[in-house]
Structure formats: structure tokens, C-alpha cells
Amino acid sequence: MKLFSLATIIFSLALAACHADDKGKAMEILTNPPAEPTAKVEKTDEQWKKELTPEQYRILRQSGTERPDGAVYEQFKKQGKGSYHCAGCGALLFTSEQKFDSHCGWPSFYDPAKAENVIIKKDYSMGMVRQEVVCAKCGGHLGHVFEGEGFNTPTDKRFCINGGGLKFVPDK
């Protein structure tokens, strides 16, 4: 019984810590666009760990997914016109022109702003086949793309993107 109580307390503290950590996480906002990489960005795992926040590293380098409807998504819904860049390398990925609210809990876009900066590849994880969205410049995991869901957009695609892997630059 004491072991069960101790395990319950530890689990509750860990859950509270995760929730508190998520509330503090937000999409980085820049005042100027980052330098656009002209070639592939290759770094060691240690370099990525030093340059990225733990959440950015988990998303971009370990194919992590932020929880839905979190602080990043709330911030995304309030952002006006601007551009969205890879948090790993600064490549331009999306703009507010392609942004729409799909009510899925993650930032959504119907098309990339710069197609050459985005790669779509097969993802066989989690016992299903999905289309993973990856930054073409640094190989960072961004999210997944879904087609044919009936959204009233020009492409009928939903690029479901982890906001923690993006940096937002508001238009001036």
C-alpha cells in the first residue's frame, strides 16, 4: 500500500511538472527573419542539443509531438501576418497566407511557402502509414500532412505542424 501511494505521488508530481513546463513553452517570436540556409545544414547531435531548447530538440531531432491545444497552439491562433521558419536552421517554411484553423490542436497550413524547403516522406511509426513533413535544409521533423479531409482550402491538405519547431516573424 505504501508503494502504491509513493508511486501515485511521484506520478502526480511528474505530471504536474510536465504540465507546468508546457505552459511556459511558446513559439519563439523573432523581430527579423533568420538567415536562410543556402545548403544542407549538418550538425552533430551535441551541437543540436546546445542550440535548441529541450522541446525543440525533442520535436525536431527525435520526431516528437507537442501536446494538442497547448500554449504554442493558443499563441499560433493569435498571431497575425508573418512568416514561419524552422527553429533548427531558419529555413522559411510557411506564411500566414497558408495558415488556417483546422481546430485540431496544432498549427495548420494548407501549403508550404517555399516548397523546396519541405520534404514529405513516408512515416511507418505508430502502426500506420502517414506522410511526415521534414525540413529539407536540416532534416528536422515538423509534423505530418493529411489530404482529402474536406477543408475549404486551395489544396485540401492540412500540414499539421508542431509549433515548437517553428519561429514566427511578424510582418512589419
Q: Which residues are catalytic?
A: 160
Rounded Cα distance between 92 and 95, Å, is 8
| Structural contact between residues 62 and 53, judged by C-beta atoms closer than 8 angstroms | no
Residues in Cβ contact with 7 at an 8 Å cutoff, skipping those fewer than 6 apart: none
Rounded Cα distance between 123 and 151, Å, is 23
Residues in Cβ contact with 95 at an 8 Å cutoff, skipping those fewer than 6 apart: 81, 82, 83, 84, 113
